[in-house]
Amino acid sequence: MTPFEGGEIAEILDAASKIKDQDPDSWYNSWPEVGTKAEQIAQEAESTGDRVAARRGYQRASNYLRAAQFMLNEGPIGHDKHVLPTMERAIDDFRRGVKYLDGDVHFLNIPYENKIKLPSYLYLPPECKCLPNGPKTPTLVNTGEGDSTQEEIYFISASVGPYLGYAVLTFDGPGQGIVLRCDKLPMRPDWEVVVGRVLDHLWDFARAHPGADLDLDHIAITGASMGGYYALWGAVDPRIQACISWLWRLFSAGLLSEGVFDALIRSISGWTFQARWEFNHMKWAMGRESDVKVIRRMLDYTMKCKDGSELLHSAKCPVLVTDPGSTFYFDPETTTRKILRPLCICPMTKRRSGWQRTWCLEGCKLKSGRLGTRCSG
C-alpha cells in the first residue's frame, strides 16, 4: 500500500516495533499512535493549502486506524467498544483525504434492504486521463473481500484505475466494513443480489449525472480472495461485461462431529491468535455464534445453483481467473482449475487464466480488466 500513499515505511516500522506476538491489544495500541501523527501532519498541510501532503496524511491516518481495529473481534459485534469509533474515525479521515484527489469522488448510498443503505465510493478519472478520442468511461466494480473495507480496497484498485481512464466503484456489502460493524449485517452467499442493487444504483447515477459520461456497456467486476467468489456470482448479471476473479476454495468436508470440531477449534485458538482471529471474524461476518455453524454456513457458498446446475454456465462475459501459487490457504491447482472447467460454455478465445508462484500485483488485474472491457464490446 505504501506506493499508493497508504503508509510510510518509517511510520509502519515504528508501529510494528511496539506489537507483541499473540497480543492483539498491543496491535491496537500501536496503530492509533502513528495514525494520530499522520492526522496532525494532514491538518497542518491542509491549513497551509498543501493539497498533496494533506491527502497523503489523511490516507495514511485512515489506513493505520483501519488496521488498529482489525484484530479486535473477541466476543460478538459491538462487544469491544474501540472498534466502531475507530472505524468511523478511519472513514472520516479517508473522506477528508480523497477530496484532494485529481478526479471527482462521489459518496453514494446504495438502497439495499429494510431501509439499510450500502455506502459506496465512485471514483472518476481526472479529465486529463479520460480515454482518448472521446469514448465514454468504462467502470470497474470492486466487490471487496471477506474481511476488507472499501477504504482498504481503494489502495488496490481505485488508486490506479482512474489514472488508466477507468471509473472505479467500491462499496461495503453485507459482512463487510462499516456495514458489518454498524448495521451488523452478515454476508450472504447469493451475492448476485447485492451486485444487482449496486448496478441498479449505478444506472440511476449515470442517468442523473450525464456529465460523468459513464459507459454502461463496459462494466467489469473484480474481487480477490473471498471477493473472487463474490465477483463470479456478480458476473452472471448480464450488465457485467468482464470479470476478474481470484478465488479460493472455501471448505473441504470432514468426518468430525460438531462437538469434536468445536473442541478442536477452541484448542487451536487457545495457543494461536491467528486461528482465533480468523474464526472470530467469520462468526461476525457469517452471523453465526459457533465455529461449526460457521463451517455449515460456508457450505452455502458454492458455484452451484439451487437446482444443482453450474452457476458459471450462465457467465457470458470474459472471465480472468487468477491465483497466486504461494497462498497458504489452498493449492491453486485444485481451485483455479475447478473454476475454469464450468466456464467452457464461453468460446476458447474468452477463456484465460493466470497464476504464478508469487502474489499477483493488483495493477496487473486492472490492466487485464481494461483489456476485458475493451474486447468484450
pLDDT per residue as tens digits for the range 256-314: 455 655 655 565 555 556 667 777 777 777 787 777 777 677 777 777 777 777 777 77
| Number of other residues whose CB lies within 10 A of the CB of residue 365 | 25
pLDDT band at 75 (very low <50, low <70, confident <90, very high): confident
What pLDDT sits at residue 251?
A: 33
For the domain spanning 1-100, the CATH number is 1.20.1440.110
What is the rounded average pLDDT for all residues in the chain?
81
More confident residue, 358 or 243: 243
Fold of the domain built from segment(s) 104-250+307-351+369-376: Rossmann fold (3.40.50)
**CA distance from start to end of the chain:** 32
Question: What's the average model confidence in pLDDT over 23-41?
Answer: 93
Nearest to 173 by CA among 123, 119, 223, 222: 119
Concerning whether 225 is annotated as a catalytic residue, the answer is: yes
Q: Which of 26, 225, 309, 376 is catalytic?
A: 225
Q: Which amino acid is at 23?
A: D
Answer whether residue 196 shows pLDDT above 90.
Answer: yes
222 pLDDT above the threshold of 80:
yes
What is the tens place of the pLDDT at every residue in 168-181?
A: 999 999 999 999 99
What stretch of H or E contains 59? helix 51-70
- % residues pLDDT > 70 (the chain): 76
Residue 272 dihedral angles phi and psi, to the nearest 5°: -135, 120
Measured in whole angstroms, how far is the alpha carbon of residue 326 from the centre of its chain? 20
Strands (E), the chain: 105-111, 117-123, 137-142, 167-171, 214-224, 242-246, 319-324, 351-356
Secondary structure of residue 257 in the 3-state scheme: coil
Where exactly are the structural domains of the chain? Answer: 1-100, 104-250+307-351+369-376, 258-300
Long-range pairs, 288-293, Cβ under 8 A, ≥24:
288/186, 289/76, 290/262, 291/261, 291/262, 291/265, 291/266, 292/258, 292/261, 292/262
* CA dist., res. 284 & res. 143, Å (int): 19
- pLDDT tens for 78-127 read 888 999 999 999 999 999 999 999 999 999 999 999 899 999 999 999 98
Tell me what the mean pLDDT of segment 129-154 comes to.
88
Q: Is the pLDDT of residue 17 over 70?
A: yes
pLDDT for 100 equals 96
CA distances from 158 to 121, 198, 278, 320 (A): 9, 17, 27, 19
Q: Say if strands 167-171 and 319-324 run parallel, antiparallel, or are unpaired.
A: unpaired
d(CA 326, CA 358): 5
